[in-house]
Chains A and B, each alone.
Chain A
């Protein structure tokens, strides 16, 4: 199958990302002329501006849009990169990070706080304040992943098939618990649950970015190091071991790093589906399955896609906002279907 030259692809991505970032900063309910954007950026870099920028524009840019943009970039990169890594580990292009329990665990954590925050967990909410929900979602997602991982690991050997089956069972249990909480929730809580489960970047402040940053940056920097091992994994664990990869260590690291990245992303922005599944899949059609290219390209493409989607989410029904999870599904679903149906781009060999 024909492949795009990776250097050309990096170029396209880099240009597209810069354009998308700039565009997303100037558009919104309040239009900011690009002249002012440049002036604010100059100021930020220490140059003195020719004429001062109006304060309300500067605050909108630096305190509202910029943190939200950074959030979109980080969450998008984290979801797409984790998707690529998990698909490689499971040797399955249809796998997604939700399989190892991250999403259902996070959902249970979030819904518990929404529904029981004023009764059972009131002291916790009082202690952790505005971060009660993200922390609970993150911790719950990590616990779920660890439980599934423990079940699938016997005497140091992780059976990937068992991991998948255990994931299905634990996901069902967590889903039932979430359903039970939804059942006893009142109307306003139901609304919060719905909103959270459709994903949103509305609440993105610099504090949120700072709190999330380490949990996303560490996987973002470390996961690409496992690219050669993931290539070996695609031929089976035995082959990977015979090629000299420390496969126990690799499996453990990949599961923990993806759980960390996805857990943090879901904790702060709710459930944003589709990205982790489809971005790696699309890129594999274009640049091939080599993880040394695929992992960084997925991160870049995920960041780009979520930035664009968030721009739509903010502007389509402005001043109201659409949940970004919906936007992803509305744009991405038909696009992906068209791609599958187009005869030129049959996913070769991936049955």
Chain B
């Protein structure tokens, strides 16, 4: 279980904080529990604090000096701040919104970097190959990464991130784990807009893969902007506005016209269709109009 307890992230630097705005908090008193085996999607308007929350869930320690974090984030009841960096990297992988890599690494080298928390591991080559095959980027493996298109780069990055916490499948878990009465050691997958550069077919492919990857010992959490995709793939959807959680539940419970209007200032129509068992969301336009001056 991945939990946040009264998490509050604020800007302390007076020069950055605009005095007129009432709240300098980017994330305001958020207490959430993310369950294993579930894909949780975080939705919200630009600047709602989604990425900031995701960064805190990742246990990122080195952050901008003006950002201050209060409250705890725990994984399996252990404070993330107390994890050794390498141990945490073996259990938690993060895909950032953008990775800028200008140096001509080959695609397979980029994916193999996902294995760096394991040092010289005999399995790394096999896992790199499997991750490439899963994301269907194996035909690109000898290309220079900077020469790829944005969507291809995104799929390569996802392969790297999955390789970092790849299940050690055919190896049985060490017996000692169970004997010592340890609770299961969950792995955490955090994704920040991992479909932003993909064509529609690859958006479905990638979310499908993430769903498959979310086995009962994996906690997955993704920031997403696409409402239809969220309705289709989310096990749980969280709506955020100005650093607060304003709705939390299954897609059917959360993705209602009223909630979406409150979150985004957006008019929507929610439809049903007999071919699919999830709500179909049609955006109609902004709720309030300001027009040209």
Contact = CB atoms under 8 A, between A and B. Distances in A.
Contacts of A93: 102-103
A241 interface: yes
B106 to A, nearest CB: 7
Nearest to B68: A155
Contacts of A246: 85
Contacts of B103: 91, 93, 234, 284, 289, 349-350
Contacts of B102: 91, 93, 234, 349-351
A236 B110 CA distance: 13
B164 A243 contact: yes
Contacts of A157: 62-65
A237 B61 CA distance: 11
Contacts of A290: 105, 109
A242 interface: yes
Interface residues of A, number: 33
Nearest to A231: B113
Nearest to B190: A242
Interface string B71-110: 0000000000000011111101110100111111110011
Contacts of B87: 244
Nearest to A285: B104
A91 to B, nearest CB: 7
A223 to B, nearest CB: 17
Query: Is chain B's interface secondary structure helix, strand, loop, or mixed overall?
Result: mixed
Nearest to B105: A289
A239 B85 CA distance: 13
Interface in B96-148: 96, 99-106, 109-110, 113-114, 116-117, 144-147
B60 interface: yes
A283 to B, nearest CB: 12
Contacts of A232: 113, 116
Given A157-B63, A228-B116, A244 B105 contact: no
B58 interface: yes
Given A1-B144, A242-B93, A247-B62, A235 B99 contact: yes
With most chain B CB atoms within 10 A of its CB, the pick from A154, A155, A349 is A349
Nearest to B13: A154
A245 interface: yes
Contacts of B144: 1, 348-349
Interface string A122-158: 0000000000000000000000000000000011110
Contacts of A235: 99-101, 110, 113
Contacts of B104: 1, 284, 288-289, 347-350
Contacts of B100: 235-236
Interface in A98-129: none
Contact of B61 (A241, A243, A288): A241
Interface in A303-351: 347-351
A248 B96 contact: no
A266 to B, nearest CB: 27
Given A235-B113, A288-B105, A349 B58 contact: no
Nearest to B98: A236
Nearest to B119: A228
Interface string B238-250: 0000000000000
Contacts of A241: 60-62, 85
Given A244-B88, A248-B62, A349-B102, A236 B164 contact: no
Given A244-B90, A245-B85, A284-B104, 17 more contacts: A1-B144, A154-B65, A157-B63, A157-B65, A234-B101, A235-B100, A235-B113, A238-B55, A239-B94, A241-B60, A241-B61, A242-B58, A243-B89, A247-B62, A248-B62, A284-B103, A350-B102
Interface of B: 55, 58, 60-65, 85-90, 92-94, 96, 99-106, 109-110, 113-114, 116-117, 144-147, 164
12 contacts: A155-B65, A231-B113, A237-B62, A238-B60, A239-B94, A241-B85, A242-B89, A242-B94, A244-B85, A244-B86, A246-B85, A289-B104
Interface of A: 1, 91, 93, 154-157, 228, 231-232, 234-239, 241-248, 284, 288-290, 347-351
